Structures are given as structure tokens and as C-alpha cells.
Structure 1
Amino acid sequence: MTVNPDQRLSLVVKSTTVPRPPTFVVIGVQKAGTTSLYMYLKQHPQVYMSPVKETNFFERDWSQATKEVQQRKKNGIITWDNYRQLFAEATDVHIALGEASPNYLFHHQYAAEQIHTRLPDAKLIAVLRNPVQRAFSDYLMHMRDAVGKQTPLAEQVRSRGTSSYVLLKGKYTEALKHFMDVCGRSRVDVFLYDDLCNDAQSFMGKIYQSIGVNADFSADTSHKAQTAKVPKNQTVNRLLKTQNPIRTVATGLMKIVPTQIRRQIRDRLINLNYQGKSQEIFSEEDTILLQQYYREDILRLQDLIQRDLSGWLKEAR
């Protein structure tokens, strides 16, 4: 291929231009509307969002991870160059560049320092949800995705929640304070999931204002992401969602069927085994124990962020 001088100059400029780093990061929390938030942010013409949601780049030192752990990282973003390239397509029109990895708050001990070092001017956004409701939603997600053995929540609380990610992710105060101490209070803006549910347009206007773009833009907030569902039969769900001898044999027998059709059949079977989360009833004991478990942290959080969390406290007596 013949390349004229102007084209060569263009190629050189493109290859040497360093992508701008993010100007904001959504740091938490999981099961608090961050997928919907990501979708609404993408709609804003002045916002460029990482094409990969949940890069999880700052949650650990990937250079020190074993090769096996590095290879298990689905999006492959394990180096600073990998991360920066996510924003290579941003243009001058995009005033704010961002990403959303809601587990950063949970991994605050490492993530806060790394974000402060790599992105010293970035605004940090945290969306918090009533921790009791968050725990219920997280538990149902793990059940839906057949992740590990689902220990009843009451049993997890009785063990003081010291090893339960589902429970510990709802303890916000220490993690949020750590981010504020490391990065500065003015850089951390805290929002409530309740406000997103009650008035999504007003909520997004405040988010847009926080990240420095036109706050009058009206996003289409009619679509709600990740409507929770749970399996009617967990044994069937595990057979369909995890690698196991029965699924391996079934896949072998159906090799004559095109891959796309096999996936459609599997997805159809999974959906037939789903029911709305309203059908999944948590015991009264689960609720009471969770309310007691989170009460002290809610009180501390209320003081930290200077927000009225009386609604959470009434449910957390």
C-alpha cells in the first residue's frame, strides 16, 4: 500500500498520542444501580465511558499476580498501558472521561492509593444502597449465577460476617473514609441509590454536575439494568450455568447443532427456570439479623457523609 506524506504524518501522530486519563471513576457499590448509571453516563455527548465496564484495574497489583490469576482476568486489563488505551477513542468533544468499577470501594486498601497516584485529579463517585437490601440483592445474584455454595444469610451473620463478601461489601464507612483520607474529601462525591430510584433524572443531573458536564442533559432513564431473577430449581441452574459432566456430554451430543443455536437453547432453558426475585422470600430472621449487623455502621456513615439515613435506620432497628 502506498502512503503519501500527509498520511504518514497522520499515522505518526496517532501512534504517539497518549490517551487522556479518566477524569472520574465510579468506585462503588455493587448492586446499587451502577450498571444503569454507566448506561446513562454513556448517553451524555460530553462524556466518554470506558468501553469495558468494571475494568477492576485498580483493585490489586496485577503485576504481582500469578500468571494463572492474570489469565483469569476476563477483560485482560492488567497494565497501565492496557488501561489507558480504553480511552484512546475519546475526542475533544468529551469533557469527562470515566469508568465504573463498583468493587473499588470494597478493595479500598489498595484501590484508593493507586487511584490517587495514577489519577490525582479524578472525581470519585460512590453510590450507596441500604446495606440490608444490597445484601439481599447480592445473595440473589450469586444464586442466579450459581457462584459457589449459597450459605443462608442468617448463618453468615452468626459467623460475624468476617469472611462473607456479601455482608462485608455493605460496610461502607471505613472504606469511604479511607478514600476520603487518601484522595481528599472534596474529590469524593456520595450519592444514594434511593434517589436514583425515586427520581432518576434529578439524580443524573447531580452526577453530571459532579463530573463537570452539562447538567441539563436529559438521559433516557426508562431502561433499568439487571432486573434480578432467581432460579426455581438451583440444581437445574447449576447444570446449565457451570461446567459439569452432564453439560459436557450434552454439548458433545449437540455438536451437529450450530453454536449460536446451542446458546439460544441454553439461554431459553435458563430463562424458563427463572422467576422474579419477589418469589424468593427471605426469612424474618434474615432481615432482623442483617438489620442488627449493619446498624452501627449506618450510624457512623450518616455522620461521615452528613446525609439523612433515617430511612435506612428505621428499617435497621
Structure 2
Amino acid sequence: MIDRTWRPQFIVIGAVKAATTWIQARLVENPAIFMPPPEPHYFSSEFERGEEWYRAFFQDRPGAAHLIGEKSADYLAHPLAARRIAATLPDVKLVLQLRNPVERAYSDYKMLYRRGTVKGPPEDYLTTPDNPFARFLEDGLYARHLARWFDLFPREQMLIYLYDDVITHPHAIIEAVSRHIGAEPVFEADRTARENNSRSALLPLPLRKALAPLKSSVRPLRGNPVFESMRSLLAREVAYPPLPPALRERMRDFYSRDIESLEAMSGLDLARWKSPTRAVPAA
């Protein structure tokens, strides 16, 4: 008999840079839920590795955990992920967290900027998708991507909510997601802090690259007062190139039609996304 008890019963499918790490951190605080710490990306970029490779992510699940899930934020925008998941896990519960696409694109740019992957200003990457990092703009075309999922999954299998609501009503989001996947909500003390904050102090990029091979060895030292004190002597907040107001408005126009479609197909109120764009917050 084939053992299918390890397979995910729910998946957080995106979007990238929409605080999906935050909801994963909140869910695993619940002892009834297991999620592997890293993103498997199995149904997107790693599908050729095969199911046994994917299964290894769940081999350490505790026996007491009766709900198994995973989070890979690139699934939403990947052209094949929805069909692969539907063929493998047709009954899986899906969780989707969306962020204002202008803010999402700039945040994605900043993530690769602090890694040193991109070096030019936002104008080089956020003016048009015709550049080596088309994902910055294209991943925010949520209605286009969501149509693939709605073609394959019943609407009631997917819970969609907004990044803005995480900021204003975090407990309500934890409760809604927990109940959607079939778990009783568990609340810890303060659940408004970001898990991946672009304003966090980082070591200079050359030093980060030099120390990259030691990352797993150093991880247990995080939180140690002596280690953190030494790190603070070198760490600095990254100075990101700003997003010019004219480019911000150009991006808002780029997304306007897709936002209208998303409102119609999801029932979400996206008035905040359609109003003149305020300054993009750090994240």
C-alpha cells in the first residue's frame, strides 16, 4: 500500500514578498500543524527531482501533528504549479496572501538588491517587464495567475486575503487561515512583527558572501548575546535606491486593469490599491 499520509493537506502558494513567511511562522506555533522550514519549490522549479525528493521535506514531522502543509511563495505565478498540484493533491486547501503589486514589486527588487543580484536603480527593472528580472512586474499580475488556479480548483478550496489586513488585524488572519485549513487557532503574544524585514541591519555584502559557506554552522549562535554584540558592530541597514514617484504611478497604471479583474473574480475590495499610491513602506 502506498503511504500518502505525508502529503500536504494545505499549501501557502504566495505571493512572493507578501509576508507569507509571517503566516507560516504563525501556523507552526500550533502544535497540531507541521510545515518544513525551507520552501520546497517542488511544484515549481524543483519538480524534476521527483516525489521521493519532495517527501524528504516531511520525514521529520512529529506524530502528534495531524495537519501537514508547506509554503512555496512562487507557486502562484509559476505557469505549471497549479496543474501539477491539481494532479497530485486535488483536495489540498490553498492559502493565498496578496500585497499591493506596486509595493510587492519594489520589495522583490530590494530583496535582490541587498543580495547583490541587481545593482541598478529601480527604473532599470520596474519600468517594463522587458529586462532580465521580468518577475518583478509580472508576478504581481495576480488575476492573470489566479485564473489558472480557478480553472483547476473549486473556489472554496482557496482562502485569499490581503497583506494590509495582516498589518491591521493579525489575529483575525491567523484565525481565518487556521479554520480554513482545519485547525483550531493558536495565538502567541505579539504577532505583528515582520519575519523578513528589509530594514533589518545586515553585514556588508562582501562579508556576507565570504561567510556564506559558514551560514549553517553560525545559525545556532543567532540570539547569543556575545555573537549578536559582535555582529552589531559590523551590521548596517541597507540604503536602497528610492522608488521615484513618477515610476510608482507608472507601475500603478501597469497594474490597473489586472486589479479590476482581480476584484471581479475574487470579491476582494481593492480600493486601497487603486487610489493614488502612497510611499512604499519598507519590507
What TM-score do you get using the length of structure 2 for normalisation? 0.81
Which amino acid in structure 2 is aligned with residue 153 of structure 1?
P
- Higher radius of gyration, 1 or 2: 1
Partner amino acid, structure 1, of 2:254: Y
Name the residue aligned to 1:286. Answer: 247
Contact 1:29 1:126 in 2 (8 A): yes
**Counterparts of 2:274 and 2:142 in 1: how far apart (Å)?**
15
Deviations 1:251-285 (A, max 9, x none): 9xxxxxxx86xx979x94895342476xx532112
Partner amino acid, structure 2, of 1:154: E
CA–CA distance in structure 1, aligned partners of residues 125 and 239 of structure 2: 24
- The one-letter code sitting in structure 2 at the alignment partner of 1:23 is Q
Secondary structure of 1:125's counterpart equals strand
Please tell me whether the aligned partners of residues 57 and 83 of structure 1 are also in contact (alpha carbons under 8 angstroms).
Answer: yes
Please state if 1:25 is matched with 2:19: no
Q: Do the aligned residues in 2 keep the contact of 1:47 with 1:96 (CA within 8 Å)?
A: yes
Partner residue of 2:269?
A: 308
Change (3 A) 1:49 1:304: same
Written as runs of structure 1 = structure 2, the 5 A alignment for 1:127-142 is 127-142=97-112
Which consecutive unaligned segments of at least 5 residues does structure 2 have? 279-283
Report the equivalent of 2:28.
42
SS class of match (1:57): coil
Find the counterpart in structure 2 of residue 96 from structure 1: 67
What residue in structure 2 maps to residue 68 of structure 1?
none
**Change in 2 beyond 3 A, CA 1:171/1:110:** same
**Counterpart residue number, 1:186:** 156
Give the 3 Å change call, closer, same or farther, for CA 268–61 of structure 1 in structure 2.
closer
- Report which of the two has the higher share of helix: 1
Q: Deviations for 1:66-104, whole angstroms, at most 9, x for unmatched residues?
A: xxxxxxxxxxxx321122232234456433210000000
Aligned counterpart, 1:274: 237
Answer whether contact 2:82 2:152 (CA < 8 A) is retained: yes
Alpha-carbon deviation of 1:287? 1.2
CA distance in 1, matches of 2:256, 2:38: 31
Q: 1:154–1:289: 8 Å Cα contact kept in structure 2?
A: no
Q: Give structure 1 stretches of 5+ with no counterpart.
A: 1-15, 64-77, 252-258
Distance 1:92 1:237, change over 3 A: closer
- The aligned counterpart of 1:219 is 188
CA distance in 1, matches of 2:46, 2:184: 35
Q: Give 1:152 shift.
A: 3.0
In 1, distance between residues paired with 2:253 and 2:120?
19
Residue 86 of structure 1 aligns to a residue in which SS?
helix
Q: Quick one: distance in 2 between partners of 1:104 and 1:125?
A: 11
* CA distance in structure 2 between the aligned counterparts of 1:157 and 1:228, rounded to whole angstroms: 18
In the alignment, residue 272 of structure 1 is paired with which amino acid?
Answer: A
Structure 1 stretches (4+) deviating beyond 6 angstroms?
none
Q: Deviations over 1:99-123 (max 9, x none)?
A: 000000121x211111111111110
Taking the aligned partners of 2:277 and 2:14, their CA distance within structure 1 comes to: 21
CA distance in 1, matches of 2:179, 2:98: 18
Number of the residue aligned with 2:56:
85
Q: Return the TM-score normalized by structure 1.
A: 0.73
* Alignment size in residue pairs: 263
Which residue number in structure 2 is paired with residue 299 of structure 1?
260
Q: Supply the distance in 1 between the matched residues of 2:182 and 2:50 (Cα, whole angstroms).
A: 28
CA 1:168/1:57 → structure 2, altered by over 3 Å: closer, same or farther?
same
Q: Identity over aligned residues, as a percent?
A: 25
**Counterpart of 2:13 in 1: which secondary structure?**
strand
Per the alignment, residue 92 of structure 2 pairs with: 122
1:55 to 29, 36, 40: 40
Output the aligned Cα RMSD. 3.1
CA–CA distance in structure 2, aligned partners of residues 241 and 142 of structure 1: 14
CA distance in structure 2 between the partners assigned to 1:159 and 1:43 by the alignment: 40
Whole-Å separation in 2 of the counterparts to 1:209 and 1:159 = 40
